[in-house]
Structure 1
Amino acid sequence: MMPVNIKFNHRLIQKALKRYKYYENIDLIKDDEIFYEAYSLRGNRHKFKNDLFTMIGILGWGPAGHHIAAKNLLFQGHDNCWKYFERTALFWALAHLNDPFIDHIAPQLNYALFVEREDILALLLEKSVQYLAREEYVSDKEYTDQEVFSSTHLIHFLIEKWGMDNPVREKVMQYGKGLGIYQRIVDEWDNSFQEIEQDYWDLLCEHHLNGLSLTGSTREKEEFISYGLVPMELLNVFKVRKKLGLDIPEIKHELFHTPMATYPVLPTGYNEKLDVRFQLIERTMIEKKRFTMDEIIALLKEQHGEDSDIFY
C-alpha cells in the first residue's frame, strides 16, 4: 500500500488519496459478482420479456469494474487503465436513463470526450435533446430554475470546438449562471494560453480539488466527484486545443504532477464485442433470455477464438 503523505504535499490531494484509496488493488472478481447479482435481481423483478430495456441500466452497476478501476489503475501506473476509462464512458452513457437534469449527463460527456468516442457523444447529445424537450422544462420549477455547474457549460463549449454539432448548447446556456470561472478560457480561446498567468491555472486546479466533497457535502463541493483526482475538465480543454493545433500551458500546480493528470493512450484497446459485462446485457436484450457469465465467456471464445483478448 502506497503511503499517501510522502509524494504529495497538497492537503486536499492527501485527503483525496485517503478517501478514494487509489493505491489499493481492485477485487474485480467480487465486483463481477455484484454486477451479476444486479443483473439477476433486475431480471426477477420485472416482466423479463416485456421490460428488457431496463436491463441496460445495469451497466452502471459494479463501479469497481469501470470508473473505480480506471482511476486506481491510472494512479498505480497500469497501462490497461485506459480500457476501463473507455468502458466507463460507454457504460455510463448507455445506463443514463430517464434523468433529465442538465448537470447529470455532464460527466458522461466528459468521459466520452476524454477517450474520443464521438459515437457516445452523439448518443448523449441525442438523449439531452429528448430530456430538454420534456414537459418538466416548461411546467416544473425544479427544472426551469435548476442550477448548472460552470464545468457543464464548459463541456458543451468543448464539444462544439471538437467539431461536433451540439444541438443543446444554446438551450443549456439558458440555465445556471454561465461559464463562471471558465469564462476566460472561452474569451481567450483564439489567443495563446501561454500568456495566461499561472495563478489562473492554479485557481482552476484548486476549483477542481474543492469540488471533490473533501471539505463538505454541499452541491458546490460535489462538482467533480465523478472524476476524482483526474482533472478531466482541464485535460479535455487541452485535448481539444491540441487537436486544433493550438498551444497549451504548462501547469505547475501539484495536481498536474500526480499520475491522474495524464492524457489517455488511444486507442485504448477496449472492444465492447469482447466485454463480458457488455455482452451479457446486449445478448440478453437481443435474444430475450438470461445468461450466466460463464455462458457469455464460452460464447465469446467460440466466436472470437480461445486466445481472444476477452475483457472481464
Structure 2
Amino acid sequence: MQVKQYNHKLIQKALKRYKYNDDINQEKANEDFFYRYSFFTKGKKIKKDLNNLYIVLEGAPNCNHIAAKNLLFQGNDECWKFFERTAHFFAYGYEGGSFPFIDPIGPLLNYALYVERIDLIELLLTKAAADLERDEYKNNKEYIKQRVYPSTYLIHFLIEKLGILNPVKDKVMQYGDGLGIYERIVDEWDHQFNEIDDEYWDSLCEYHLNGIGVTGTKWKDEELIDFGLVPIELINLFKVRKKLGLDVPVIKHELFSTPMAVYPTIPTGYSSDLDVKFQLVERTMKDAKIYTFEEIVEQLKEEHGENADLFY
C-alpha cells in the first residue's frame, strides 16, 4: 500500500515512528497475549491474583489499540472492532490504585466515548471515584499538587454535557491548572462553533500533534500519546456536539485530511461475548481455572454455534 505524502512535519514524524502502514502479526499477538495470561496464572498466582487478572487485557497493545490504529490508517473496516475492544479492555483492565493519579483514566474515558460505550464510561467513573477517596489525596503532597492535563478536564466536561452522571468531575477540577487551550470550548459552548476562527481549530490540531510523543518525552509531550495520530479528543468533542444538535466546525488542518480523523462506524460489530481473548480472562476468573485458546473457542462454538463470528 502506497502511503500518501503529508506536508506537516509532525504528521511525517508520527507516520515514521508509529508505522501505521505495517501489518500486525496476529499469530504473534496471540502468543504475546497468552504468554502474559500464563504469567499471571502460573502456579499459585491463579488463586492469589485472580481478582486482578483483568490487568492482562491492557498489556497487549498489538491486540487492541495498535491494531486498531494501523487498520484504520490502512482503510480496513475491521479497525472499528479493535477500537471497541480497546475501550473494553482498557475499562476492564483499569484497577483502582494501579493508576493512582487523575490523568491516566482520561484516555480510557476518551476511547469509551469514541465508540459510544456509555456503560464503560460509567464503569470507569465508578473506579475513579474510589481512587479519589484514597488517603493519598488527603495526605500526600505529590497527589494534592499533581498536574492534570487539559484534555482530562475536557473529557469530563463532555461526559457531563452528555447527561452522564459524573461523580468525580468536581473533584478532578480541584487539581492542576485548568482547561488551558480548551477553555474557549467551554466558554463558547452555547455559541456557534462555525463562527470560531480557523486559527483556533488549527491550534487544537497542533496541540494534538505536539502531544503524541513525537516532539519529546517530557510530560507535556505525551498528553495524547495513547491516541497517536487519531484526534480522538476532537472527534469526541464534535460527536457530543452533534448528539446535542449543536453545530460543528469544518476543520481545514492537514491532520483532518488523514484517514485517522474519520468518525467511527457505530455499531462496530464487536461483541465481548464472542471475543476469544476477553472470554479467556473472564472465564478464568469465573471458574478459577486455567484455559487454552482452543478450549475457549470450543466453548464459544458450543454456545453460539459452529459458524459464530469469533473475534481473536
TM-score by length of 1: 0.98
Kept in 1, the 8 Å contact 2:211–2:220? The answer is yes
Q: Distance in 2 between matches of 1:242 and 1:222?
A: 28
Corresponding residue of 2:90 = 92
Q: Distance in 1 between matches of 2:194 and 2:58?
A: 39
Corresponding residue of 1:298 = 298
Q: Distance in 2 between matches of 1:46 and 1:54?
A: 13
CA shift, 1:134, in A, is 0.3
Kept in 2, the 8 Å contact 1:272–1:279? The answer is yes
Q: Which amino acid aligns with 1:193?
A: F
Corresponding residue of 2:233 = 233
Q: Distance in 2 between matches of 1:261 and 1:112?
A: 17
Corresponding residue of 1:184 = 184
Corresponding residue of 2:106 = 106
Q: Indicate yes or no: 2:45 matched with 1:21.
A: no
Any residues of structure 2 matched to 1:196-207 within 5 Å, and which?
196-207=196-207
CA shift, 1:45, in A, is 5.8
CA shift, 1:178, in A, is 0.5
CA shift, 1:288, in A, is 0.8
Corresponding residue of 1:136 = 136
Identity %: 59
Pick one of 46, 49, 69 that aligns with 1:51: 49
CA shift, 1:28, in A, is 1.1
CA shift, 1:141, in A, is 1.1
Which stretches of structure 1, 4 residues or longer, exceed 2 Å deviation after superposition? none
Q: Distance in 2 between matches of 1:213 and 1:303?
A: 44
Any residues of structure 2 matched to 1:140-179 within 5 Å, and which?
140-179=140-179
Corresponding residue of 2:31 = 33
- DSSP 3-state at the match of 1:264: coil
Q: Which amino acid aligns with 1:310?
A: L
- DSSP 3-state at the match of 1:8: coil
Kept in 2, the 8 Å contact 1:32–1:62? The answer is no
CA shift, 1:46, in A, is 4.4
Q: Distance in 1 between matches of 2:124 and 2:2?
A: 37
Q: Distance in 2 between matches of 1:288 and 1:233?
A: 38
Kept in 2, the 8 Å contact 1:255–1:261? The answer is yes
Any residues of structure 2 matched to 1:281-292 within 5 Å, and which?
281-292=281-292
Q: Distance in 1 between matches of 2:85 and 2:52?
A: 19
Q: Which amino acid aligns with 1:23?
A: N
Deviation sequence 1:261-303 (CA, Å, 0-9, x none):
0110000010000000000000001111000011111111111
CA shift, 1:34, in A, is 0.4
Q: Distance in 2 between matches of 1:18 and 1:280?
A: 34
Kept in 2, the 8 Å contact 1:100–1:128? The answer is no
Kept in 2, the 8 Å contact 1:101–1:143? The answer is yes
- DSSP 3-state at the match of 2:42: helix
Kept in 2, the 8 Å contact 1:205–1:255? The answer is yes
Deviates more, 1:249-258 or 1:61-70: 61-70
Structure 2 residue runs of 5 or longer lacking an equivalent are none
Structure 1 residue runs of 5 or longer lacking an equivalent are none
Counting matched residue pairs gives: 310
- DSSP 3-state at the match of 2:259: coil
TM-score by length of 2: 0.98
Q: Which amino acid aligns with 1:40?
A: S
